[in-house]
Amino acid sequence: MGFGSIKRYLVIIPPLMWLGLFFLIPFFVVLQVSLSDPALTRPPYTAIFTWDSWFPSGYIGDFENYAFLWSDSLYWRSYANSLKIAAVGSFICLLIGYPIAYVIARANSRTRNTLLLLVILPFWTSSLLRVYALIGMYSPNGFINSSLSFFGIIDTPLQLMQTDFAVYSGIVITYLPLMILPLYSALEKLNDDLIEASSDLGAYPLATFWRVTLPLSISGIIAGSLLVFIPSVGEFVIPALLGGPDQLMIGKTLWTEFFNNRDWPVASSVAMIMLAFLVIPMMFLRNTQGLKE
């Protein structure tokens, strides 16, 4: 449109500079720190270049931290477990979210609005508090255990906290809305006539679902699954609050390296590898319509 090109750049340059400085450059800093060695200085890492006044004169960085990650199975198990938890968690969200999205999409417009609101509402409340609410349910003296023992069903409390089950519950309560919304927008576009045609032609409801509804909502399934999977991989709060001490997830491992062990170079290389794992799903997400609300 009619913006003169100089005026255009008045609009483009400020955000470009902000994001360049506070989003792009930081990754190069992380890369640099990941190639350095820990040191008892402030900040606690060595330089990777030797400097001759303003110009770098030599390179002394190395891939020692990456070699260390490779050699210690703790990190491999953290990555593998994060990917597993995120994948299974996304699938559980899909199983729970699909019927909700389906019911919302098929409801009349008044009910639909209320049902959608009920999905969006928890999304606006803090995920930390929702995860916290689960502790009140699952802890040994929490709601479930005290109810069960009140009715005499159990004698000793069930171990619900610090289990995979608790972590999956955390993923569901945190990310379920992100699964439902893209599923809903895919299912909403689905033409009722197609479903009617299928049943007119004698298909059972289940067959209609498998052969018509499900294939036509595949874009929503992909977008929703990626929106749950990607943040779940790097999740810190859920494993920290609901998982056990042996529950390895890479977000928690990075946190521990940084805050407890104060090994910034190793934490940085953990971050770089995590990014490498996530680049492909992120690219996928950009190509689906997932980000559009």
Partner 1 sequence: MSKRHPFVLAMAGFGYAILYIPILIMIIYSFNSSKLVTVWAGWSTKWYGELLSNGQLAQAAWISLTVAFWAATIGIIFGTMIGYALARFRRFKGKLLLNGMSTAPIVMPEVVTGLSLLLLFISMESLIGWPAGRGLTTVIIAHATFCMAFVAVVVQGRLSDFDVSIEEAAMDLGARQPYIFFTITLPIIMPAIIAGWLLAFTLSFDDLVIASFVSGPGSSTLPIVIFSKVRLGVTPEINALATIIVAVVAVGVIAANWLALRSEAPKQTDESE
Give the interface segment with partner 1, choosing from 52-60, 61-69, 73-81, 96-104 (CB under 8 A): 96-104
* Residue 293 makes contact with partner 1 by CB under 8 A: yes
Question: Considering only residues 121, 194, 214, 218, which one is a binding residue for partner 1 as defined by CB under 8 A?
Answer: 121
d(CA 101, CA 229) in angstroms, rounded, equals 18
* Residue 208 makes contact with partner 1 by CB under 8 A: yes
Question: Considering only residues 83, 135, 190, 216, which one is a binding residue for partner 1 as defined by CB under 8 A?
Answer: 135
Cβ at position 73, least distance to partner 1 in Å: 21
* Closer CB to partner 1, 32 or 68, in the complex: 32
* Residue 231 makes contact with partner 1 by CB under 8 A: yes
Q: Which of residues 234-263 bind partner 1 (CB under 8 A)?
A: 234-237, 240-241, 251, 254-255, 258-259
The contact pattern for partner 1, residues 19-58, with x = CB under 8 A and - = no contact, is xxxxxxxxx-xx--x---------x---------------
* Closer CB to partner 1, 51 or 76, in the complex: 51
Q: Which of residues 187-206 bind partner 1 (CB under 8 A)?
A: 195, 199, 205
* Residue 106 makes contact with partner 1 by CB under 8 A: yes
Question: Considering only residues 69, 166, 171, 176, which one is a binding residue for partner 1 as defined by CB under 8 A?
Answer: 176
Question: Considering only residues 51, 63, 132, 210, which one is a binding residue for partner 1 as defined by CB under 8 A?
Answer: 132
Residue 83 burial (C-beta neighbours within 10 Å; 0-12, 13-18, 19+)? middle
Give the interface segment with partner 1, choosing from 48-56, 61-69, 127-135, 214-222 (CB under 8 A): 127-135
